[in-house]
Chain A
Amino acid sequence: EIVLTQSPGTLSLSPGDRATLSCRASQTVNNDFFAWYQQKAGQPPRLLIYGPSNRAPGIPDRFSGSGSGTDFTLTISRLEPEDFAVYYCQQHQTSPLFTFTFGPGTKVDLK
């Protein structure tokens, strides 16, 4: 099973700052099968980016995704107050195991 590691664990920033979140996979990931989510307390995750640079419908263009192979990045160009949340990366593999895995998350909090 591919394991995802996210860094940093916590990112303390101010509104207007640029946020750069990293996700590293233990093996090469199919780029089409990679995504990022935002989760706020008491809410389900919300799809932000998939495939790995396509924004989901309704997602502001300050969110962007990049990367390939084992290293992926989510960038928030200018943090808005509503962006302070936990961000998860996710991958899907079909062989040798068929599964989906998530990273442990990066918390973006107010500095």
Chain B
Amino acid sequence: QVQLQESGPGLVKPSETLSLTCTVSGGSISGAHWNWIRQPAGKELEWIGHIHNEGTISYHPSLKNRVTMSVDRSNNQFSLKVSSVTAADTAVYFCARDPVDGHGHFDKWGRGTLVTVSS
């Protein structure tokens, strides 16, 4: 049973860089797209981007100038960095798997981690 777990600082100062890691356990990081999705309190979900274990990356058009994703195959992890953060980046950040079965959906999710941007 594949499980995902987010980790990283819960508080980031404005203008600094938010960094999160998702650890995949119970299965290989190969053969899927690994995604970051965020949800501000009381609001809808926003897809940030995804990375394939072979390095193919796509970012949300509105975030692509501030977002960087990477994958660490040896540790079954993938990471997110969002630069120049503002209060608008405060949200629960989820990592999620798209199994790439031709249906473009997310079948496994981490529990999410709250990141607050504040000085």
Contact surface of A with B, Cβ cutoff 8 Å: 1, 30, 32-33, 35, 37, 43-47, 50-51, 54, 56, 88, 90-92, 97-105
Evaluate whether A1 and B61 lie within 8 angstroms (CB atoms) in the complex, with A44-B112, A45-B109 already known: yes
- List the 8 closest A-B pairs by CB distance, nearest first: A92-B104, A44-B109, A33-B104, A35-B105, A100-B47, A102-B45, A50-B105, A51-B103
A102 B61 Cβ-Cβ under 8 A = no
Interface residue range, chain B: 20 to 34
Q: Main secondary structure on chain B at its contact with chain A?
A: loop
Q: How far is the CA of A71 from the CA of B45 in the complex (A)?
A: 20
Evaluate whether A33 and B103 lie within 8 angstroms (CB atoms) in the complex, with A97-B61, A99-B61 already known: yes
> Min CB distance, A50 to chain B, in Å?
4
Measured between beta carbons, the chain B residues less than 8 angstroms from A88 are 44-45
Measured between beta carbons, the chain B residues less than 8 angstroms from A97 are 61
Q: How far is the CA of A1 from the CA of B47 in the complex (A)?
A: 12
